[in-house]
Amino acid sequence: MAEENNVHIKLAGADVLGLFLISMIAILVGMYGLEVFDGLGVIINVSVAVGIGLFLCTIVSYLNENAICAAVFGLVSIFLIGFTGMVNGSDVTSQEIYTIFFGLALLLIGVVALYQPVRMLPILLFIAGLSFIFLGLWFDMGEDIRAVVGVFWLITSLLALYMATAIGILTVKGKAVLPLLIKG
C-alpha cells in the first residue's frame, strides 16, 4: 500500500511574499507607464531578483499543493527572468507576442480561479492579465497606450499589495480583517 506523504512549508506564506514581489515590480512598471521616470534601468535591474524570488515562491506553493499560486508565480517568474533579454532584443513583434502570451495565460488562470473561494484572486488575475496584454500592445502602438499601461499596472500593484496584506493579517490574526471577498 502506498503512503501519501505531503510536505507543507510555512515560511510566512509563499502567497504573501509572492504577492508583495508582484506588487513591487508592478508599481515600477506602472510608474514607468505614467512617466514618473523615463528609463527601464530600475526595472531591468530588479527583474531577475524578483523573478528568482517568485520562482522560490513557486516551489513552496507547489509543495503546499497550491496549484493556482504555483502557476501564477511560475509564469511571472519566467517572464521576469527573461525580461532583460527580451527588452534588449530588436524584434518588437516577438517582444509583443511574448508579453501578450503571459497576459492570456494569466487570464486563463483567472478563469480557473473563479472556482476557488477567494473572489479577490480572479479580479487580480484578470487585471494583471490585461496589464500584460496592454504592455505587449505598447510595443506595437507606442506612446498612444502608455498611460493605459501605467494605470493598469498601478491597479495591479495596489490589488496585489492589498491581497498580500489581507492574507497576512488573516494568517496572523486568524480572522479576516480586510475583506478578500471569500464566498462561503
Which of 159, 74, 153, 165 is closest to 124 using CA atoms?
159
Quick check: 129 pLDDT over 80?
yes
> What pLDDT is recorded for position 2?
52
Percent of the chain scoring above 90 in pLDDT: 68
Number of domains present in the structure of the chain: 1
Nine cell digits for residue 1:
500500500
Q: 95 in a domain, yes or no?
A: yes
Q: 179 in a domain, yes or no?
A: no
> What pLDDT is recorded for position 6?
56
Quick check: 74 pLDDT over 60?
yes
> What pLDDT is recorded for position 10?
56
β-partners of residue 182 are 118
> What pLDDT is recorded for position 173?
84
> What pLDDT is recorded for position 91?
86
pTM reported for the whole predicted model? 0.90
Could you report the per-residue pLDDT of 78-99, keeping only the tens digit for each?
Answer: 999 999 888 887 888 989 999 9
Residue span of the structural domain in which 19 resides: 14-172
Q: 29 in a domain, yes or no?
A: yes
Quick check: 163 pLDDT over 60?
yes
Q: 177 in a domain, yes or no?
A: no
Could you report the per-residue pLDDT of 12-61, keeping only the tens digit for each?
Answer: 579 999 999 999 999 999 999 999 998 889 999 999 999 999 999 999 99
Q: At what angle do helices 67-81 and 41-63 cross, to 10 degrees?
A: 150
> What pLDDT is recorded for position 56?
96
> What pLDDT is recorded for position 152?
98
Q: 80 in a domain, yes or no?
A: yes
> What pLDDT is recorded for position 114?
95
Q: 178 in a domain, yes or no?
A: no
CATH number at residue 76: 1.25.40
Nine cell digits for residue 174:
486568524
Q: 6 in a domain, yes or no?
A: no
Residue 73, Cβ density class (10 Å: 0-12 exposed, 13-18 middle, ≥19 buried): buried
Percent of the chain scoring above 70 in pLDDT: 93
Q: 182 in a domain, yes or no?
A: no
